[in-house]
Amino acid sequence: MSAPAPLLPGALGADGRPITLGVMGGGQLGRMFVQAAQAMGYFTAVLDPDADSPAGLVSHHHVRAAYDDPAGLAELARLSHAITTEFENVPAPALATLAQQRPVAPAAACVAIAQDRLQEKTHFERSAAHSGVRPAPHAAIETPEQLAAVPAALLPGVLKTARMGYDGKGQVRVKDRAELAAAWDRLGRVACVLERLMPLRAECSVIVARGADGQCVVFPVQKNTHRDGILAITEVHEGAIDPALAQRAQAATQAIAQQIGYVGVLCVEYFIVDDGRGGLDLVVNEMAPRPHNSGHYTQNACDVSQFEAQVRALAGLPLRTPVQHSPAIMVNLLGDLWFAPNGVRAQASTEAVSPPWDELLALPGTHLHLYGKRSARVGRKMGHLNITGPSVAAVRDTAARALALLGLPALDA
């Protein structure tokens, strides 16, 4: 079956209205998708219940409704010629409802897999037949009988809720069976997956974009540093990741997308672990059916950003293999920085103070992206800083100076 005709930028639809791309969710990822779509000449529509949602504030249309509200979904479908999502916890049935009227990418079935860690692990195991990259040894825990039958080889491990987990939420490290039982009680005895704790050396991620015609392009591999379960730093440059591991991660990510006929932008996260023989191996961790924080560097370091790729895939435009033209480092900017300027917490901890943007932007190759959120809160994602330069040394030097200005921990050696 041939792919549908592309939705061309600046064109009119059969209904006589400008081609409009819709997005479920009004957060920062939706905002950057909207900005990329508008830069290419599309109109945009956002469904989000928050009147101050970052994407809603900059979109042509903002449907203020819950994600499962029938009237809101009908209005988004009326306004849009194709629809995507900006976060994985949008109700999959809502996407299925929209798909009855408009092209939706990614499909509800693909999003449903990413919403359930048990389904996700099953999909990764199937994809491993093609890629050779498997998830960590694991077991489902949905009943007391399954809890009692957990193999000893999975301990110590990490107990994760099967649904609604992100940024380290819904996860508990456990050393033994007593801690495992207590953790399952603490998580409400909901469906969980226990993963064996792996000998972690580093973390990385890969972003692919796949069109309805099956064309798939892959971005460079991103090395990620997390703190308290939240992405802090992404490095994408020569020497960040072993080239052989990078190639395996890219091939595995393409296989994961191909196996479910994925359409859109997909990010897959990996652990780099000791292989027990003095070398390194890859373990697939989880996937996000959308652009990802670790791909923000593409806005300033690549000829096609992850958000433009998302627009292209949704609209049925040609997907071009991204080319990274500059080494890059991305720094995640959390709301903590507004309450601890230069790393020193203000006396009045409730009073937000803007970080020293003027000093940061005086550094070479710095690109500030703030998300338009009305107020800063500790732990809230407020923006990111992309740093590019002519060489790895230059980028790392600028990043070191930027992190010092912000009072953040230095880069790993």
The answer to whether 170 is annotated as binding is yes
DSSP of 169-238 = TTEEEESSHHHHHHHHHHTTT--EEEEEPP-EEEEEEEEEEE-TTS-EEEPPPEEEEEETTEEEEEEEST
Check whether 235 is labelled as a binding-site residue: no
Instruction: Tell me the helix, strand and coil percentages in the chain, rounded to 5.
Output: 30, 25, 40
Task: Establish whether 168 is an annotated binding residue.
Answer: yes
Check whether 160 is labelled as a binding-site residue.
yes
According to DSSP, the β-strands at 20-24 and 43-47 are parallel
* 226 labeled binding residue: yes
Neighbour tally for 35: CB within 10 Å: 18
Q: Is 325 within any annotated ligand binding site? A: no
**What is the rounded CA–CA span in Å between residue 90 and residue 105?**
13
171 annotated binding-site participant: yes
Number of other CB atoms surrounding residue 175 within 10 Å: 11
Residue type, 223: K
Q: Residue 341 gets which letter from DSSP?
A: G
In eight-state DSSP terms, residue 65 is S
Q: Tell me which residue of 249, 261, 240 sits closest to 206, measured CA to CA.
A: 249
Instruction: Tell whether 345 is in a known binding site.
Output: no
381 known ligand binder: no
Question: Quick one: 188 exposed, middle or buried, by C-beta within 10 A (0-12, 13-18, 19+)?
Answer: exposed
- Residue 137 phi/psi, 5-degree rounding, is -55, 135
CB-neighbour burial class of residue 228 (10 A; exposed 0-12, middle 13-18, buried 19+): exposed
Handedness of CA 342, 345, 351, 352 (dihedral sign): positive
Residue 167 annotated as part of some ligand binding site: yes
Distance CA 138, CA 94 (A): 30
Q: What is the token pair recorded at 30? A: 């939706």
CA distances from 213 to 101, 302, 322 (A): 20, 24, 18
Peptide bond into 106 cis (omega under 30): yes
- Gap between the Cα atoms of 249 and 244, Å rounded: 9
Strand extents, DSSP E, 4-113: 20-24, 43-47, 61-63, 82-85
* Helices (runs of H) and strands (runs of E) counted in the chain: 13, 17
Tokens of 29: 């990822």
Binding residues for ATP: 117, 160, 165-171, 203, 226, 285-286
Binding residues: 117, 160, 165-171, 203, 226, 285-286
